[in-house]
Structure 1
Amino acid sequence: MSPKTMMAGVVHALYDSSIRSKTIDIELIENDPDQGKKVLTAVEEGLQTCNSFFMSVAFINQSGLTPLLLTLQELERKNIKGKVLTTNYLSFSEPKALDALEQLKNIEVRMADTSSNAPGFHTKGYVFFQKEWVRMMIGSSNITAGALTRNKEWNVQVKASSKGSLSQSVMDAFETMWNDRKTIPYGDIREEYVRQYEQKQQMQKKEEEERAWVQEAKKLQPNGMQQAFITRLRSLLEQGAHRALLISATGTGKTYASAFAMRELRFERVLFIVHRELIAQQAKESFARVFQNRTQFGL
């Protein structure tokens, strides 16, 4: 590409789109299903035509890496070198995806450690070198299936000389992060990162279960019989009674009635007695749903 040809592309992209150019050197890369556009296509094209590359992305998961693996394996066979910089920020990246990258002999993977009060890490940049030229795609796309194929993403792709100030600035910024003392080879930090990742997954699972409990509890409302029971029990208590008896047919919801009553009347301690362990376990689960799992239960 000659400087004149490149300048025509710059004029077309930044000054007047009606001025024709043989090349498009600056363009927006996005996912657009209606036009069959995917960010993934631009990444694949960059990999397939480069002599070397580097990527700096905050998040990498298996669903985003899998479509790129065949291309990356082909680069391994050709011994085309690459660097991938990611982070333990939010413990989001999947270890199995990082392991797959680490196994490629031509790729070096490093992880920026943000766990010790370091600033967050949220870069998304793909840089592909071809002789004296460089293709840079910088924007919003991580290596996830959604980011590369479906989500609303904006990335600006620039084709420029590797001697240009923009190219130099991007390369300098990457090298600064790559060589930072808090940037560690993934193999050295893997064990600790896997532990952090698994802890986060467990926390997320617990939070999801708690949200499910809350949603289910919101749906759980006393039926007519149960509401009448609560009203009558409250009246008896106000009259000074210490005992009450509910007689109702099997399957009408007596266990839930007792749980609703204990919740509505704010009893602090409850002893629920039945004649079989299985029924006690089922009752415990019913009480937990009604109380949104916010109190302690024992069997």
Structure 2
Amino acid sequence: MTQNRFLRLVAGRAVMTVITALFIAIVVFFAIRAIPGDPALTILGTESSPEEREQLRAVMGLDQPIVTQFSLWLGQLIGGDLGYSYSQGRPVTDIIGPALVNTMMLGGLASVMAIALALIMGNLATTRWRAVRRTIDGAESFFLSAPQYTIALVLLIVFAVLLPAFPAGGVATRGDGSVGDILSHLFLPALALALAPGAQMARSLKTSIATLQATDLLPTLQARGLAPWRLAIHAHHNALPPMITVLGIQVGTMLGGALFVEQIFSIPGLGALIVQSVSLRDYTLVQAVALLIAMVFVVVLLLADVVNALLDPRIRKGRA
């Protein structure tokens, strides 16, 4: 019975994800067309003739009613076709692929660093030493209040220019591309993205552990002779679901911050690509990149719900 409830929970979340994806597609499609400017003029330049621009609009489908344009684009998406970029003269899939890989590597490393930071700060914030708790609280407040692009600039100036311990930008040294080389290039931008989410998750973990410590559960388990390391595992097992939920939400913060951080560190990811495509009024490319970023966020939230259901039996039984 519990397994059936879990499957129903996952199915319900999946249906909501599909509905959210459709809503995002509608918003992305009409929002990009609200940006002033003529895509044909931007692509062909001011020296092009009105006839050439009109011909390009017809090729791009911009001469058709807006509802027809959306129906055609949605049909392409359902068929797995992201469209064709007329500003770069190649399919959108070929353009997004390398940028997506770079952004996923940056986001993956930032997520790992945020989780590690949250576990360290969250546990230190629950110690009996007041000075340590106050220091952690101050660090959390600073990381949450400082903009990610400001932190990125400071890290770049200090650790790539004044103290050149890390590369100043890019994803890999030309001709290298080893794991160590990629990690050295992504360390600073990933750290800039990880500080705020890590601090937010640390607060969630601290609150969960403090709430658990205020109950009689841990003293009861300790009185039964449970080893300290098993007590720690039990406490974190109960505190992880809220932190995972916060992590899913904070992915949006990291994706939004990546738009600026990738520019600062010259990383050819989705953030840099969407800025370039907006400046070129490349509707097809902007729609694909914006939808992809939003879908990554939605899918991460879905995975967070599934992991929480696996960790918390109350969710599987429909009690939470």
Question: Which TM class, normalised by the smaller chain length?
Answer: under 0.3
Could you state the TM-score of these two structures normalised by the residue count of structure 1?
0.21
Greater radius of gyration (CA):
1
In terms of fraction of residues, the more helix-rich structure is: 2
In terms of fraction of residues, the more strand-rich structure is: 1
Could you state the TM-score of these two structures normalised by the residue count of structure 2?
0.20
